[in-house]
């Protein structure tokens, strides 16, 4: 196994943790067992493509306009994480620096929901439909703004992006959709992955190919990732991840209906009414000087990457002299930690169907889409 060490900013570390590796655990941990959701009855027979031809077809997809409904389903085997924010010193109702509620973010990242998605060039909208309310995210590339709107709390946060951080078409496509997962997977595709073409099927009323990605390594929790690739546009209509030793998808996201016509302009804009409480935030890009200062800051965590491909492990080490270790937890924090982790030699383990986290007594955190023994060995240097 190879090992690489560097000092990183907290923001870079968070992004790295969400891509361990990105092809196996995409930013939303999206997508699918060797199964295409919503397959319609009746045979579908698209022109035959080799795995390489299907990869090239999907990589060349350029869809700038669409509207549709997506369904996300998760069965990650997670414990109840709702009390984490209070136990570790934050109010669960506290908003993060984007204005989004922490509990809502946990729900979107790990839960099941139905949402409407709208895209037109640099503008996009994600409308999450709850039983009694809805949450909306609007991205407007022309005005360099984004809105986070919660109908239940009757609140809205307006985000203004300073020069260099404005949203655009690429940001709009980062909304949680099968396509976002596909692009992340293709960007990280290498020789550690076996690529095959599965069975043609109908997804969201459209003929689609099945693209299957499987790890060559046995040291991973991921069995396979499957995508339904639209036979006309090359866009991903569904995606899912199956975990090893499980018959059901651990995570899936799919369109149940989709149109590639431009959505009505009114669906992509938001104007707060008088009964909506509005707050505003500005996001400015760090200067080159600030970035270098963070990288060289002795208090910044160090990141050590061990292994490659699907069995990659990322180790974050607290800066020298840091008090951020399990030994320094309060009694309340220790009780909460024990409620969703298991004890191992030298630390505690947090396990899900697709991800394992090891928190060591000396302040290190190791994470990967790998079995627990792989993290334990990495922590001990084996």
Residue 118 pLDDT = 95
Count other Cβ atoms within 10 Å, centred on residue 60: 9
Top-confidence residue, 340 or 20: 340
Are the C-beta atoms of residues 175 and 162 closer than 8 Å to each other? no
Q: Identify whether 134 is part of a domain.
A: yes
The domain in which residue 240 lies consists of 29-283
Q: Identify whether 310 is part of a domain.
A: yes
Q: Identify whether 328 is part of a domain.
A: yes
Is the bond leading into 21 cis (omega within 30 degrees of zero)? yes
* Contacts by residues 218-221 (CB-CB < 8 Å, ≥ 24 positions apart): 219/307, 219/310, 219/311, 219/370, 219/371, 219/374, 220/24, 220/244, 220/310, 220/311, 220/369, 220/370, 221/353, 221/354, 221/355, 221/356, 221/369, 221/370, 221/371
User: Structure tokens of 266?
Assistant: 């009114």
Which residues, in sequence order, are CB contacts of 165 under 8 Å at separation 6+? 283, 284, 285
Top-confidence residue, 169 or 75: 75
Q: Identify whether 265 is part of a domain.
A: yes
Top-confidence residue, 303 or 22: 303
User: Measuring CA to CA, which residue among 365, 350, 376, 316 is closest to residue 84?
Assistant: 350
Is the confidence at residue 71, as pLDDT, over 90? yes
Residue 12 pLDDT = 34
Q: Identify whether 24 is part of a domain.
A: no
Distance in angstroms (rounded) separating the CA atoms of residues 366 and 354: 14
Phi, psi of 374, rounded to the nearest 5 degrees: -70, -40
Residues 142 and 109 occupy one common structural domain? yes
Over 100-112, what HEC string results? CEHHHHHHHHHCC
Instruction: Residue 373: give its domain's CATH number.
Output: 3.30.310
Q: What is the mean pLDDT of residues 175-190?
A: 88
Residues 122 and 222 occupy one common structural domain? yes
Residue 164 pLDDT = 52
Is the confidence at residue 224, as pLDDT, over 90? yes
Top-confidence residue, 292 or 234: 234
pLDDT digits 0-9 by tens, 206-219? 999 999 999 999 99
Q: Identify whether 51 is part of a domain.
A: yes
Residues 38 and 85 occupy one common structural domain? yes
Name the band, by pLDDT with cuts 50, 70 and 90, for residue 129: confident
Is the confidence at residue 193, as pLDDT, over 90? yes
Residues 237 and 142 occupy one common structural domain? yes
Residues 234 and 322 occupy one common structural domain? no
Residues 304 and 278 occupy one common structural domain? no
**H or E element: which one contains 363?**
none
Residues 229 and 316 occupy one common structural domain? no
Domain's final residue, options 283, 312, 340? 283
User: Measuring CA to CA, which residue among 379, 374, 369, 377 is closest to residue 76?
Assistant: 369
Distance in angstroms (rounded) separating the CA atoms of residues 136 and 125: 7
Are the C-beta atoms of residues 379 and 361 closer than 8 Å to each other? no
Q: Identify whether 16 is part of a domain.
A: no
Top-confidence residue, 236 or 330: 236
Residues 195 and 335 occupy one common structural domain? no
User: Structure tokens of 158?
Assistant: 């307006």
How many domains does one find in the chain? 2
Return mean pLDDT, the chain. 76
Instruction: Residue 111: give its domain's CATH number.
Output: 2.50.20.10
Q: Identify whether 190 is part of a domain.
A: yes
Residues 213 and 233 occupy one common structural domain? yes
Residues 196 and 314 occupy one common structural domain? no
**H or E element: which one contains 167?**
none
Domain's final residue, options 231, 248, 283? 283
Domain's final residue, options 250, 283, 316? 283
Count other Cβ atoms within 10 Å, centred on residue 187: 12
Least confident of 29-33, 66-70, 288-292: 29-33
Residues 47 and 106 occupy one common structural domain? yes
Residues 222 and 172 occupy one common structural domain? yes
């Amino acid at each position: 196994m190879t090992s690489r060490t560097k000092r990183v900013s907290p923001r870079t570390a968070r992004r790295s943790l969400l891509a361990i590796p990105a092809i196996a655990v995409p930013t939303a941990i999206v997508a699918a067992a060797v199964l295409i959701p919503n397959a319609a009855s009746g045979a579908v027979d698209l022109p035959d493509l080799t795995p390489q031809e299907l990869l090239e077809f999907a990589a060349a997809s350029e869809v700038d306009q669409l509207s549709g409904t997506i369904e996300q389903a998760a069965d990650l085997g997670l414990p109840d994480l709702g009390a984490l924010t209070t136990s570790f010193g934050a109010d669960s109702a506290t908003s993060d620096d984007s204005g989004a509620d922490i509990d809502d973010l946990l729900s979107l990242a790990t839960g099941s929901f139905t949402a409407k998605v709208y895209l037109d060039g640099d503008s996009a909208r994600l409308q999450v439909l709850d039983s009694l309310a809805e949450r909306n995210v609007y991205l407007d590339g022309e005005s360099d703004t984004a809105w986070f709107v919660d109908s239940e709390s009757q609140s809205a946060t307006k985000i203004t992006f300073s020069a260099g951080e404005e949203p655009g078409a690429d940001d709009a496509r980062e909304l949680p959709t099968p396509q976002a997962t596909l692009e992340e997977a293709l960007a990280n595709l290498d020789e550690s992955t076996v690529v095959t073409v599965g069975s043609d099927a109908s997804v969201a009323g459209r003929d689609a190919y099945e693209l299957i990605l499987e790890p060559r390594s046995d040291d991973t929790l991921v069995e396979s990732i499957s995508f339904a690739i639209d036979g006309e546009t090359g866009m991903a209509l569904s995606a899912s991840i199956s975990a090893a030793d499980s018959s059901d998808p651990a995570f899936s996201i799919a369109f149940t209906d989709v149109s590639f016509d431009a959505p009505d302009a009114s669906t992509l804009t938001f104007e707060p009414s008088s009964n909506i409480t509005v707050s505003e935030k500005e996001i400015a890009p760090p200067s080159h000087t600030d970035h270098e200062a963070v990288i060289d800051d002795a208090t910044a965590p160090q990141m050590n990457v061990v292994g490659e491909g699907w069995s990659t492990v990322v180790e974050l080490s607290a800066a020298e002299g840091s008090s951020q270790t399990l030994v320094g937890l309060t009694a309340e924090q220790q009780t909460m930690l024990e409620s969703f982790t298991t004890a191992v030699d030298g630390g505690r383990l947090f396990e899900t169907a697709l991800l394992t986290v090891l928190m060591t007594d000396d302040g290190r955190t190791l994470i990967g889409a790998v079995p627990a023994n792989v993290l334990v060995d990495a922590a001990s240097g084996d």
